[in-house]
Amino acid sequence: MTVTQTPSTAQEPRDDLREHVRDAARRSKRAAAELALLNRGTKDRLLHAMADALVRRAPEVLEANERDIAAGRESGLSEALIDRLTLNTGRIESMADGLRTVAGLPDPVGEVLRGQVLPNGLQLRQVRVPLGVVGMVYEGRPNVTVDAAGLALKSGNSALLRGSSSAARSNDAEVRILRDVLAEFDLPLDAVQLLPSEDRASVQHLITARGLVDVVIPRGGAGLIQAVVENATVPAIETGVGNCHVYVDRAADQDTALEVLVNSKARRPSVCNSAETFLVHSEIADEFLPRALAALAEAGVTVHGDERVRATGGEDVVPATEEDWDAEYLSLDIAAKVVDSLDDAVEHIREHSSAHTEAIVSADYRATQRFTAQVDAAAVMVNASTAFTDGGEFGMGAEIGISTQKLHARGPMALPELTSTKWIAYGDGHVRPTGS
């Protein structure tokens, strides 16, 4: 189909955009069929060549990025968003390094997950295969374009990218470079495509392209994620929202608890694995709370506490409202509550958790066993910071997002999480008896 460049009626642009997105998805699907057959050697060489090209052609990307930044300033983008958007030589080097790291990871495709000879002699095996077309919807971080393309390609998938309009020029420059390398390797350019971002509707068209897109992964703030997950008819993976708790048990080593708590909150408050609430057992609250409040204050953290926390912290503690228990602050704020038992802590977490990461600090064996069994989250930390929930830390080498849903993948997602499986049965004229 041909995209009309000069629509003559008000209705046309929207329909054109839909067809444009669907056509891109169809081409992406065809490309995916070729990518699925590539062996690891080719894919690794491709990623190294892409890394080299990004570094070599960094000036092109930086020039495009400058234009994005200028446009951003003009439209009044906040400094935080401008910072997220800004590339420099160092950031481009890290994107390239990211591609090289992914090249060094094992190829998930072809791995035999299960296999047996059935009683009738049929040889059955389950092998990993690429998902096909991976759709990404993300915000104004131009590094996601390269990260996502690298992970998608290594796992044999096409990347269908829908970035933010604020980063459109930067993304475009990056994708142009990646596609030039695809061309050098005689691989389909459609393996990496950037969808138009000037019209919000392209997101909707992408996430409803059932049968053409195999999965859509939103990456960004809670609003974006909810909008994608609730409106997608394509299978979507919910990522990233982290209302993480640290529970300080009555049997906690208090020095350990202080370190874990402060690290969980203050190491990098803007990321999803940072703690947003801490719960402390009433039996040690009198002793622990003053130390915790002092340590948090020293780290620049504002505490939003319930009445019992305020009884200790006084005026320095902001009164917590019901909203605080559900807040993902992503800032130097933390909610705090005194609980009377491990059961109360588990119950509070069950009610308010986003099922990302929950931590317990305790020296009591049974308490840790009960907490890990009863708390339902992607990751449960025992005497360790919530900050460890991360693909890199988990030894995955990279990460395309952290799934907070239970289906398909849970926790940090890397290469195996971008695959599906296929059953292959080798027979010798096997037929199934009637009535069996």
* Burial class of residue 374 (count of CB atoms within 10 Å of its CB; 0-12, 13-18, 19+): middle
Binding mask 291-310 for a copy of itself (x = CB under 8 A): --------------------
Interhelix angle for 58-74 vs 40-56, to 10°? Answer: 60
What is the smallest separation between the CB atom of 21 and a copy of itself, expressed in angstroms?
Answer: 18
Candidates 30-38, 49-57, 60-68, 94-102; binding stretch for a copy of itself (CB under 8 A): 30-38
Should residue 376 be labelled a site residue for a copy of itself when binding is judged by CB under 8 A? yes
Least gap, CB of 121 to a copy of itself (angstroms)? 10
By the rule CB under 8 A, 351 interacts with a copy of itself:
no
Q: Minimum distance from CB of 300 to a copy of itself (Å)?
A: 13
Site for a copy of itself in 223-262 (CB under 8 A): 229-230, 233, 235, 237, 253, 255-256, 259-260
Q: Which is nearer to a copy of itself, 122 or 332 (CB)?
A: 122
CB 308 → a copy of itself: shortest distance, Å? 26
Q: If binding is defined by CB under 8 A, does position 36 make contact with a copy of itself?
A: yes
Decide if residue 429 touches a copy of itself (CB under 8 A): yes
* DSSP string over 144-210: HHHHHHHHHHHTT-EEEEE--GGGHHHHHHHHHHHHHHHHHTT--GGGEEE---SSTHHHHHHHT-B
CA distance 180 to 189: 8
Count of residues that bind a copy of itself according to CB under 8 A: 69
Does the CA dihedral 143-82-222-330 come out positive or negative?
Answer: positive
Contact (Cβ atoms closer than 8 angstroms) between residue 283 and residue 364: no
- Residue that is written with structure tokens 């902001």 in the block: 318
Residue ranges in 121-140 that form contacts with a copy of itself under rule CB under 8 A: 122, 124, 126, 129, 131-132
Q: Which of 158, 46, 53, 54 is nearest to 102 (CA)?
A: 46
Q: Which residue spans within 253-294 are E strands per DSSP? A: 275-281
d(CA 61, CA 251): 54
Distance CA 368, CA 362 (A): 7
Q: What is the DSSP letter of 261?
A: H
Neighbour-count burial of 178, counting CB atoms closer than 10 A to its CB (0-12 exposed, 13-18 middle, 19+ buried) = buried
| Residue span binding a copy of itself (CB under 8 A) among the ranges 135-143, 194-202, 285-293, 389-397 | 389-397
**Least CB distance to a copy of itself at residue 49 (A):** 25
| Residues of the shown chain interacting with a copy of itself in the complex, contacts defined by CB under 8 A | 33, 36-37, 116, 118, 122, 124, 126, 129, 131-132, 210, 214-215, 229-230, 233, 235, 237, 253, 255-256, 259-260, 263, 267-268, 350, 368, 372-374, 376-385, 387-389, 393-395, 405-408, 410-411, 420-432, 434, 436
